[in-house]
Structure 1
Amino acid sequence: MNNSIKSAREWSLAQPSTSNAMSNTMPNPHAVPTVQPAGDNCISVFTDAAWRSSHGATGCGWMLQNLDLSVTQHGWKCFNYTPSALTA
């Protein structure tokens, strides 16, 4: 949940603003996120989403991975009428 909130905050700060003061605080979109070491019985979850503003459509994908790096589950889904990229 914390990563979701952090990502939403970063996305919000990266949006065009009329204030020049915000330009100095925008995060680096190419920064590699840090990864916390997993416990013995943890599964890593990788997600991504893309939003098309002209159609309000969203595509989402996910992958679950064990500690031995084998993919246990993956999938994708499309959604119509998504109001914003942040919602996606």
Structure 2
Amino acid sequence: MENWLKKICKPILAYFEEGEGVYIYKKSHRSILKVVGTLLLGISFFSLYLSITTASFAGLLPIIVFFLGGLVCYIVAFLGSDRAVASIWKRK
């Protein structure tokens, strides 16, 4: 299952896993990435709820932006290599 998901998410993972040389990785970076992903997805779903209850399409942009940000955080945190996690933190 993990290999299948990595294959589907390869364009996103390849962007963060590219590069050579030394990188600085800490286990806490992956944990923080999971928390940030959860927060971004939570904001996205809350914005969706508010948009539905107010019948307003103005909340569509924040919904998309926060959802995509949370999705990228989850993909890198759960499927990415240590280099990808360090890359999202810009640690080299």
Q: Structures share a fold, TM > 0.5?
A: no
Question: Which structure shows the bigger proportion of residues in helix conformation?
Answer: 2
TM-score normalised by L of structure 1: 0.31
Question: Which structure shows the bigger proportion of residues in strand conformation?
Answer: 1
